[in-house]
Chain A
């Protein structure tokens, strides 16, 4: 039952001991603040990393060649594993469950950089030979023109799709790059499209410095024959990407006379596996945050309980007087529990406001990178925290309230 009169009485009590109520409240405010800020930081971490990962298809598999480490079929270890177009065909032919298969090349090798120029403007960018389906594996937003298409591949056209940074460096602001020529490694290409990355942070920046040209054009223009640098693959929906990864590895191992035991000879990366790992990590972090936060909060609540006990001691005389005036044990118990709930709730509310405010302020700073973006606390989380507080306040008040109800009025009134 809501008893306005009782609340007014309690507010009067708290007012009579402002400083102590403030100090008690601080512990709880601090506890909930810590919990919320931790949760906010955790969500920032999660958002940052997830956003960074959202630039990838989570069912993507990458396979590249390395050096053999074991002798096999009369071959010495230390041999470079190099792929070519026939490997692409073999994979396409023999392995089921593949949605997109994109053999890739990069000028200057993996993560190599190459000078790209246009008139007097030039800079170093990553130049890739790619198939049209690569855009399905690494999503990007086509801001102008188009991505590579089938005819580009068949006709080995000298066309290029350039990243946002490349466009900004090579073209004047507002200038339409489509139809203009750029020079890559001494060869002229016509720009047919520009894109912005879906990735954020460092990965996104690197992506925006990329230039895509048709795979077939790449092989001919840059004299790599039928060589394939590495493969990017996505598994069909519902197909286990790890199984696809394993199948590709064993097909390639057989084709290149690699010992089945030589794990080192073929490099591969399974985004799904990494994604799951990261999600598990987040789960762990979240658990840890709740653990730490709840215990900080608990410390605050125990503080309330302790101070309420002191309050009961200090107010023994008052309780005695009230009992002489006809206060029932029930009214005393409920008064103290309500006072405890009141202090924790108000303090908790202030902590929640401060915590949410702090998190929003940090969010407004616009910190965005590979590991941090958009820290938020969901309303439901704050409400759960508030509910925990009210409950905890009640529990914190039980022992002090019981002690108060047990005060012997004669003893209380005798003490001067």
Chain B
């Protein structure tokens, strides 16, 4: 794998990567298929999807509505199952995991950011950020201390006591990002994180995600906005459940 990478790089097919991008594979999908059963019919959403995301990369997945982006992301996040193919997360095969194992991966390995924020409405910002730590069995005091530092990192230290309903969309998404980061995951999966935000706020969110990536965390952003996608290292295009080949060229620099 590393040999292939250096070869491609020498040929100019790949950019001289930023130092945070390593040669280690973080996500590797081969021939992933997924279909939904709707009554008698089966809707083939993902068709032979091959995907390779290296540790420390920041990639975007683009595609029109219904092209299977969320489905793909949910499979990456072990929220959903795939029908056939292989999925390696950090070189570990992810296949028919027990609910408990899956929960453990989601808790410690993966951070989710959603378009609709998905904060718990009756919990304040700090409590929301602390939720993943609760499922790790971290004590309340320690949880709150860690959560406070992550809220501070997204610039919302003063909003710790506020309920989601008292915050703007951008603030909510920053809380969600803090929550995704609090368990120190290796991968952040963001499904249209800026879909509900105006462009200025969207850029702020992307700024934060870039900083997250620079700290060494692999970031996968699903979006259908070009300006958002262009801020990532690499765009993966989905069309009718297939990965469009022929555009591995990075958009940045």
Contact = CB atoms under 8 A, between A and B. Distances in A.
Interface of A: 5, 8-9, 12-13, 15-16, 317-318, 320-331, 405, 409-410, 413-414, 416
B140 A328 contact: no
Given A5-B134, A322-B131, A410-B80, A328 B118 contact: no
B118 A329 contact: no
Contacts of B241: none
B183 interface: yes
Contact of B107 (A13, A15, A325, A405): A325
B20 interface: no
Given A322-B131, A326-B183, 19 more contacts: A5-B140, A9-B134, A317-B118, A321-B131, A323-B79, A324-B112, A324-B118, A325-B131, A325-B135, A326-B104, A326-B106, A326-B135, A326-B136, A327-B135, A328-B100, A331-B135, A410-B80, A413-B118, A416-B116
A116 to B, nearest CB: 80
A64 to B, nearest CB: 78
Nearest to A330: B100
A217 to B, nearest CB: 88
B132 A325 contact: yes
Nearest to A329: B99
Nearest to A6: B134
Interface in B95-128: 99-100, 103-104, 106-108, 112, 114, 116, 118-120, 122-123
Contact of A324 (B79, B122, B140): B79
B106 A12 contact: no
B193 interface: no
28 contacts: A5-B140, A12-B122, A15-B122, A317-B118, A321-B118, A321-B120, A322-B120, A322-B131, A323-B79, A323-B103, A324-B79, A324-B112, A324-B118, A325-B106, A325-B107, A325-B112, A325-B132, A326-B132, A326-B135, A326-B183, A327-B103, A327-B135, A328-B99, A328-B100, A328-B104, A329-B100, A329-B103, A410-B79
A325 B122 CA distance: 16
A414 B45 CA distance: 16
B162 to A, nearest CB: 16
Contacts of A413: 79, 114, 118
Contact of A8 (B70, B80, B140): B140
Contacts of B70: 414
A325 B179 contact: yes
A324 B183 contact: no
A295 to B, nearest CB: 35
A331 B132 CA distance: 13
B74 A410 contact: yes
A318 B123 CA distance: 11
Contacts of A16: 122
Nearest to A328: B103
Nearest to A405: B99
A23 B70 CA distance: 39
Interface string B178-212: 01000100000000000000000000000000000
B253 interface: no
Contacts of A320: 118
B56 interface: no
Contact of A326 (B108, B116, B140): B108
B235 to A, nearest CB: 24
Contacts of B183: 326
B77 interface: yes
B92 interface: no
A317 B117 CA distance: 12
A318 B77 CA distance: 17
Nearest first, the 5 A-B pairs at minimum CB distance are A326-B107, A16-B122, A328-B103, A326-B135, A325-B132
Which of B70, B80, B99, B183 has the largest number of chain A CB atoms within 10 A? Answer: B99
Contacts of A326: 103-104, 106-108, 132, 135-136, 183
B132 A409 contact: no
Contacts of B120: 318, 321-322
A329 B179 CA distance: 21
Contacts of B106: 323-326
A318 B74 CA distance: 17
A381 to B, nearest CB: 38
Nearest to B99: A329
Contacts of A15: 122
A293 B215 CA distance: 64
B222 to A, nearest CB: 13
Contacts of B136: 326
B178 to A, nearest CB: 13
Interface in B126-182: 131-132, 134-136, 139-140, 179
A413 B106 CA distance: 15
B204 to A, nearest CB: 23
A324 B80 CA distance: 11
Which of B79, B139, B179 has the largest number of chain A CB atoms within 10 A? Answer: B79
Contacts of A325: 106-107, 112, 131-132, 135, 179
B130 to A, nearest CB: 10
